Each structure stands twice: as C-alpha cells, then as structure tokens.
Amino acid sequence: MNNNEAIVVCRCEEVTYGALRFTAEEHQCTARELKLRTRAGMGFCGGRTCRIPLDRIIENVVSNISQGDTPLKYQPPIRPVTFGTVGEKND
C-alpha cells in the first residue's frame, strides 16, 4: 500500500494519491474542497483526466457523501486558449 501513496493521480499538477487521501481524511471535505486544497484537477487538462478518481477518493474517505453531492465545477475556458483568442473582438 505504501507504494500506492506515491501514485500521481493528477498528472497536470502532480498531486499524489497519498496527499489526496491525507487531505480528504483530515478535512472530511467535498471533491470541490479537495481540489481547492491540493490543486488536483486545476491543471492544463481542466480535470478531464482525474475527475473520477478524485470523486472516488472522497466517496471512500468521507462517509455519507456520494458523487452527486457538490460535484467539481466547470469553468470557462474549458480548453487552453491564448489571451489573444479570448481577448479578440467578436466578428
């Protein structure tokens, strides 16, 4: 199991399984809070890769919580874009 502590769950921000479990156990929090505390899911891919594993960690650690409660939020831009693209004038 010690080996598993070092698994990188969020590859963009390099957050390990051990760090996520520790945070979830200490704060008994929602997936959204776990994200804000560790930066897991806040990297380049926008959490597309680790969203489900994060939900599973919370479900496993925090009792009386399901994936339906306080899900991770989505925010624009949902794809990496340059400032130039976002700042362009319409038409």
Partner 1 sequence: MRDVIVIGAGPAGLAGAIASASFGLKVTVIDEFIKPGGRLIGQLHQEPSGEWWNGIKESERLHQEAKTLSVDIRCGVSVYNLEKDDDLWNVHTSIGTLTAPYVLVATGAAEYPIPLPGWTLPGVMSIGAAQVMTNVHRVEVGKKGIIIGANILAFAILNELQLAGIHVDRIVLPEKNPLSGKAGEPEEVMKSLLNAAHLAPSPLLRMGSRFMKNGSFRKIGMKFYPKNGVKVNGTPLLLRKAAIEIIGTEQVEGVRVADTDENGNIIPGSEKIYEADFVCIAGGLYPLAELVAVSGCPFQYIPELGGHVPHHSEMMETPLEGLFVAGNITGIESGKIAMAQGTTAGYAIAKHAGKDGAAIDKQLQEAVQNVRSVREQAAIQFNPEIDSGRRKMSELWESLYSKNTRENSQIKIG
Distances (CA, A) of 57 to 15, 18, 30, 46, 52: 13, 11, 10, 18, 9
For residue 86, what is the DSSP state?
H
Q: Which two tokens stand for residue 24?
A: 């979830």
Contacting residue, 12, 13, 17, 65, with partner 1 by CB under 8 A? 17
Q: Verify binding: residue 56, partner 1, rule CB under 8 A.
A: yes
State which residue, 6 or 36, has the beta carbon closest to partner 1. Answer: 6
At its nearest, how many Å lie between partner 1 and the CB of residue 78? 4
At its nearest, how many Å lie between partner 1 and the CB of residue 37? 18
Q: Verify binding: residue 73, partner 1, rule CB under 8 A.
A: yes
